[in-house]
Amino acid sequence: MSVVSLQLGQCGNQIGGELFNLLIEDATKLNPQFFSKSVDSKVNHEYDCEVVERFFTRDKTGNSLNARAVMIDMESKAISQTLSQAKKSGKWCYPEGQQFCQKRGSGNNWAHGFLEHGPKSWERVLDMVQKEVEKCDRFCGFLIFMSLAGGTGSGVGAYITGSLRDEFPHSFILNQVVWPYGTGEVIVQNYNAILTLSHLYRCSDGIVILENDKLQNICSRLMNLKHISFKDINEVISHKLASVLQPVKLFSQGRDAGFYKHATSVRNLLGDLIEQVCPHPEYKLMTLKNIPQMSEKSLAYSTYTWTGLLKHLRQMLIADASMEEGIDWEVKIPVPSNPDGEDYHQRPGELPRLKTRFNKSIANLLVLRGVDVHKSDLASFTDPRLNASWVPSGCATTIWCHPRPFNNYEKSATLLSNSQTPVAPLNFVVQKAWNMFTSRAYVHQYLKYGMAEDHFVDSFAATEQIIKSYSSL
Amino acid sequence: MTQSIVVQVGQCGNQIGCRFWDLALREHASTNKNGIFDESLSSFFRNVDTRYKNPIDIPLGNSKQKIKSLKARAVMIDMEEGVVNEILKGPLRDVFDCQQLITDVSGSGNNWATGFMMYGQRYREQISEVIRHAAELCDCLQCFFLIHSMGGGTGSGLGTSVLNLLADEYTDVYRFTSAVYPSADDDVITSPYNSVLAMHQLTEYADCVLPIENQALVDICNKVSSALPPTKTGKKVYHQSSQCHIKASSAITSSDGGVKKGPEKPFDNMNNIAANLTLNMTSSSRFEGSLNVDLNEITMNLVPFPKLHYLVSSQTPLYSLTDVKLPPRRLDQMFSDAFSKDHQLIKADPKHSLYLACALMLRGNVEISDIRRNIERLKPSLHFIHWNQEGWKTGLCSVPPVGNPYSLLALSNNTCIRHTFGELKDRFMKLYKRKAHVHHYTHVDGMEASQFDSSIESLKWLIQEYETLEAQMGRTVEDIPRLKIA
């Protein structure tokens, strides 16, 4: 089934471009080192076809691939840069006429994006979206790339997500949002972030959060980069996303190496993903943890076992680590005698704090890719103590897999988890925004575009509610 | 892509403006080698087919048209003819046409009221018409850059009158003002009056003001020229000689590589600094980069409260050396310098005052990790207001300024500016206590004595606002408890 992507703002367009590039690279590049031994040609062909069906259309000649994407920005530079980079790849490009841009940017102002640009652009954007949806034989939903900090990604993005929900009430909508750096990108980013999140929470089915600070750490510590550019960060983002979005099969344990020939493919990727990971409307935030991640140079000299990878990944989950380096191994799942709700306590005027720092989940999706995937032992991920007590045991962890090595990694595992991870960054953002708001700083810039102060208060209430819900798991 | 119009008023405004156009051409010439009229050129220039008697604009089209004849999106206004005539005789004459020109012969006599009331009234229609013409030639007009001085008559008076007109007729177009403030030892006796009267208008009607102080420009020029090796006659020039270590054309004061030939005039160096300010500020909206900063983002991020829109600016490096192998320390030095007292374009020390917000706009070969490292490094030595501890806005533009591998423009909303304003207030009060020269102003039709009082009140209010904010420096402020969810 096919997914239509929407790329919003400079950040969204850059990430979208990077992701499509990786999807097609991964589908076409065959690394002989792995492929001779593990995957037969039929499975490879199937993989290829699925990638193309899901994310690309073939033009009439059948030779060149067009991404199923609509590009939206209020200013033309980012789009034209992304377009020309796609063309340069020689493997794919963007469909013609599916770019919407205005002449004036949103100026980091959420209200400008949401109240002015959004409504003005909607009609033409809808046209393009419909055109793209009509190209799909089987349409399964929307994937939206945007940032939380800027004006276009956040403001227009929130508006368009809401309008898509009205126009396509039965389609799945998955938003991928980039969480801004703690300091130094956009000064009003915290306002923009809470306004966006509170709106997305109403209309999106699931929100995948990627934090710039953590991504930069990954680039410097795991990828060994000295000068980190946005391109490097976007490459890490697209690696994480693609490791979930590429074709997968349902996992069944204990079979022999041939089981995947008959294993069921996951067709309705977005739908299944959202159904598994976001089972409750109050819990829609997802984060991605993956292992291993390293520079191409070190990759050639590394080998991994499934047992080792999964052990690390599980500890990353419960200790809430964003990468395999510096995991706190002290964190343990508490014994069942420790009653629920005691894990957090909140003194007046203080932020909710974990007593035991164990990171609790609602649901997890584990994606395994690579050689000998059937040999992995997954008992540690199905432990019901990983999850909130009310989650029915047995359906909290979903496992997908594919025998084909992904993006040059012989074995790799990714965890898409709906857990307490977002509480800390969300708390930080709300605190900063609230400090600013109580001094009424920058508020006049938003009121200028017809926003009311109540709008801020509502968004604060909504985000506080999210924090509260997750904290009290 | 959006367009901007530069409105240059008075002698000072036109001189800086003239340098601006020269440097803008130099910058585009260095990035645009094919002579194609592209989008980034279109933001300040029009492409005109002058073969016709009534020259018409060549539309941007698919950005593949050859450059025929470039015309500046400029409006030049002066109430004397000297400077403007000189520009029209000079090498830049072809980028202007006389339709974008308004002059008179008699000058404003260093009197704000003459500029604002008399000429403002007399030329309102004509100015409005010229600006409308320029605006109609824009596809999407984003911003007016107003360049004028504060001390004289035409720049301060007529300049702020034009500002009123723009605020009136183009409500949704941004108004950025580069205002040149007189030094304390300025030779115009009424300059404190003119500055305070003009400031009242700037506070009310501008979106963003970039104050530039004459003395600060002089000091920066001295700093640059002391780094240059002397030539035989003792005069310092930018020629590349064997023992010269500064790269020609890289200095922020230099006109090297522009269309202007021959000896530099005394003020050219200073004016180049002011001209570079506008150029660096707009670079990210004209050229590509991995983190664009559009002009409207500047006000959005740097103006937390209405009317507190005065930004202290600094540009580094002042020059770069011929040795191109630069160790990373030099890059970090650029960041440090941008916060030092002697690189600011006004005589003030932001490091010892309170930051409300700060923007770092980088050009050239700099990555996001370089910015982050330097923010972390500099943060401990700077004071930010308690609700904006992370008050940094950053931008990355991939095209460096001519002659440099990279550059930094720092714009800060900092309470240190209140000292500049305080001194100005004192000088004003010294004169006003005895009502000295006031009659020169009240003689002008339409000028009321109350204008003096309301203007000084406005300035006092502004100083007071910054003082109140600065008083919060270092104090821990009781947080208002967050919303509780039942």
Are A75 and B294 inside 8 Å of each other by CB? Answer: yes
Q: Taking Cα atoms as reference points, which of B115, B177, B112, B170 lies closest to residue B147? A: B177
Is residue B408 within 8 Å of B334, Cβ to Cβ?
yes
In chain A, the percentage of residues whose pLDDT exceeds 70 is 91
Span A392-397, mean pLDDT? 81
Q: CA–CA separation, B374 vs B293, rounded Å?
A: 19
Span A231-243, mean pLDDT? 94
Facing A438 at nearest CB: one of B290, B300, B480: B480
For B370-402, write each residue's pLDDT tens digit.
998 999 999 999 999 999 988 999 999 999 998
> Is the pLDDT score of A353 beyond 60?
no
Q: In angstroms, what separates the C-alpha of B79 from chain A's closest C-alpha?
A: 35
For A396-435, write each residue's pLDDT tens digit.
889 999 888 898 888 999 999 999 999 999 999 999 999 9
For B172-206, write each residue's pLDDT tens digit.
999 999 999 998 888 889 999 999 999 999 999 99
**Which residues are registered as beta bridge partners of A145?**
A7, A176
Is residue A75 within 8 Å of A24, Cβ to Cβ?
no
Give φ, ψ of A283 to 5 degrees.
-125, 100
Selected residues 89-118 of chain A with any CB under 8 Å from a CB in chain B: 103-109, 112
For A431-463, write each residue's pLDDT tens digit.
999 999 999 999 999 999 999 999 999 999 999
In chain B, the percentage of residues whose pLDDT exceeds 70 is 92
Q: CA–CA separation, A408 vs B144, rounded Å?
A: 52
Is residue A254 very low, low, confident or very high in pLDDT (cuts 50, 70, 90)? low
Is residue A75 within 8 Å of B297, Cβ to Cβ?
no
For B319-360, write each residue's pLDDT tens digit.
876 655 555 568 899 999 999 999 999 999 999 999 999 999
In chain B, the percentage of residues whose pLDDT exceeds 90 is 62
Span A7-26, mean pLDDT? 94
pLDDT of residue A342: 47
Q: CA–CA separation, A51 vs A25, rounded Å?
A: 11
Q: CA–CA separation, A470 vs B12, rounded Å?
A: 61
Q: Taking Cα atoms as reference points, which of A332, A310, A319, A320 lies closest to residue A381? A: A310
- How far are the Cα atoms of A418, A419, B29, B323 from residue A397, in angstroms, in the given order? 10, 12, 60, 59
For A193-223, write each residue's pLDDT tens digit.
999 999 999 999 999 999 999 999 999 989 8
pLDDT of residue B241: 41
Selected residues 424-453 of chain A with any CB under 8 Å from a CB in chain B: 430-432, 434-436, 438-442, 444-445
Length of chain B: 486
**Mean pLDDT over each residue of chain B, to the nearest integer:** 88
For B6-32, write each residue's pLDDT tens digit.
999 999 999 999 999 999 999 999 988
pLDDT of residue B240: 43
> Is the pLDDT score of A36 beyond 60?
no
Q: CA–CA separation, B25 vs B257, rounded Å?
A: 10
Span B395-419, mean pLDDT? 93
pLDDT of residue B326: 52
Provide the terminal-to-terminal Cα distance of chain B, rounded to the nearest Å. Answer: 48
Cβ contacts of residue A312 below 8 Å, gap of 6+?
A: A291, A324, A327
Are B294 and A183 inside 8 Å of each other by CB? Answer: no
Q: In angstroms, what separates the C-alpha of B403 from chain A's closest C-alpha?
A: 23
> Would strands A344-345 and B174-181 be described as parallel, antiparallel, or unpaired?
unpaired
Whether B39 contacts chain A with CB within 8 A = yes
List the structure tokens of B198: 């003009």
Q: In angstroms, what separates the C-alpha of A162 from chain B's closest C-alpha?
A: 25
Facing A183 at nearest CB: one of B290, B375, B480: B375
List the structure tokens of A230: 């946005």
Q: In angstroms, what separates the C-alpha of B13 from chain A's closest C-alpha?
A: 27
Span B135-142, mean pLDDT? 92
Q: CA–CA separation, B183 vs B181, rounded Å?
A: 7
For A256-308, write each residue's pLDDT tens digit.
666 666 678 888 899 999 999 998 999 999 999 999 998 888 888 888 899 99
CA B401 to chain centre: 16
Q: CA–CA separation, B174 vs A143, rounded Å?
A: 35
Are B290 and A188 inside 8 Å of each other by CB? Answer: no
Selected residues 288-317 of chain B with any CB under 8 Å from a CB in chain A: 288, 290-292, 294-297, 299-306
Helix, strand or coil, per DSSP, at residue A209:
strand
> Is the pLDDT score of A255 beyond 70?
no
Selected residues 333-392 of chain B with any CB under 8 Å from a CB in chain A: 356-357, 360, 367-372, 375, 379, 386-392
Facing A436 at nearest CB: one of B306, B388, B484: B388
> Is the pLDDT score of A29 beyond 90?
no
pLDDT of residue A341: 45
Residue of chain B whose alpha carbon sits nearest to that of A78: B288
Mutate to test the interface with A, among B41, B388, B412 (most CBs of A within 10 A): B388
For B236-295, write each residue's pLDDT tens digit.
555 444 344 667 677 888 777 777 666 667 688 899 999 999 999 999 989 988 888 889
CA B460 to chain centre: 24
Scored b (16 or more CB within 10 A) or e, A355-381 reads eeebbbbbbbbbbbbbbebbebebebb
Before A292, cis peptide (omega within 30)? yes
Q: Taking Cα atoms as reference points, which of B355, B365, B363 lies closest to residue B392? A: B355
Cβ neighbours of A352 in B, within 8 Å: none
Rg (CA), chain B: 22
Is residue A183 very low, low, confident or very high in pLDDT (cuts 50, 70, 90)? confident
DSSP H/E element including A369 = strand A361-370
Listing DSSP states for B87-138 in one string gives HHHSTTGGG--GGGEEE-SS--TT-HHIIIIIIHHHHHHHHHHHHHHHHHT-
Cβ of B465: how many Cβ atoms within 10 Å?
15
For A98-137, write each residue's pLDDT tens digit.
999 988 888 899 999 999 999 999 999 999 999 999 999 9
**Which residues are registered as beta bridge partners of A143?**
A5, A174
Are B392 and A187 inside 8 Å of each other by CB? Answer: yes
Whether B56 contacts chain A with CB within 8 A = no
Q: CA–CA separation, A426 vs A449, rounded Å?
A: 26
Is residue A381 very low, low, confident or very high in pLDDT (cuts 50, 70, 90)? confident
Are B370 and A227 inside 8 Å of each other by CB? Answer: yes
Q: CA–CA separation, B361 vs A398, rounded Å?
A: 46
Q: In angstroms, what separates the C-alpha of A453 from chain B's closest C-alpha?
A: 15
List the structure tokens of B457: 């009140």
Whether B478 contacts chain A with CB within 8 A = no
CA angle B32, B36, B41 (to 5 degrees): 65
**Mean pLDDT over each residue of chain A, to the nearest integer:** 88
Whether A35 contacts chain B with CB within 8 A = no
**Which residues are registered as beta bridge partners of A454?**
none
Are B294 and A187 inside 8 Å of each other by CB? Answer: no
Facing B479 at nearest CB: one of A225, A430, A435: A435
> Is the pLDDT score of B4 beyond 90?
yes
Residue of chain B whose alpha carbon sits nearest to that of A462: B485
Is residue A335 very low, low, confident or very high in pLDDT (cuts 50, 70, 90)? low
Whether B475 contacts chain A with CB within 8 A = no
Q: CA–CA separation, A347 vs A71, rounded Å?
A: 46
Span B436-442, mean pLDDT? 92
Mutate to test the interface with B, among A77, A81, A351, A440 (most CBs of B within 10 A): A77
Q: CA–CA separation, B37 vs B64, rounded Å?
A: 7
Sign of CA dihedral A231, A236, A240, A245: positive
Is residue A380 very low, low, confident or very high in pLDDT (cuts 50, 70, 90)? confident
> Is the pLDDT score of B456 beyond 50?
yes
Is residue A184 very low, low, confident or very high in pLDDT (cuts 50, 70, 90)? low
Span B456-485, mean pLDDT? 88
pLDDT of residue A260: 66
Selected residues 351-410 of chain A with any CB under 8 Å from a CB in chain B: none
Are B387 and A435 inside 8 Å of each other by CB? Answer: yes
Facing A105 at nearest CB: one of B294, B302, B393: B294
Q: CA–CA separation, A16 vs A237, rounded Å?
A: 10
pLDDT of residue A348: 53
